[in-house]
Amino acid sequence: MYGHDSGAYVFGQLFGIIIAAVIAVLVAKDANARGMNGILWGIFTFFLCIIALPIYLVVRKPRLDGGA
């Protein structure tokens, strides 16, 4: 009655990984612009997105280039 559609499950997992990767790249670029270690923040965000993103938003430094 309620069958498991493995194609939809795989698509959902792949979509989640892509979203996490995009967020990780954006956080890494922002961290580099703020003089922080972008690679470590990017990796941390990719693997633990739900935890790392709020932490990053709290502890990030002001931008170094003075831009918006």
Q: For residue 31, count CB atoms less than 10 angstroms from its CB and return exposed for 0-12, middle for 13-18, buried for 19 or more.
A: buried
* pLDDT value for 1: 47
In which band, very low, low, confident or very high, does the pLDDT at 2 lie, cut at 50, 70 and 90? low
Q: How many CB atoms lie within 10 A of CB 43?
A: 15
pLDDT for 32-46, tens place per residue?
999 999 999 999 999
- What distance in Å separates the CA atoms of residue 43 and residue 7, rounded to the nearest whole number? 28
Tell me what percent of the residues of the chain surpass a pLDDT of 90.
59
Query: 3 or 34: whose pLDDT is higher?
Result: 34
Using DSSP's 3-state secondary structure scheme, residue 37 falls into coil
State residue 9's pLDDT score.
84
| Domain assignments of the chain as residue spans, ordered by start | 10-59
Enter the pTM of the model: 0.76
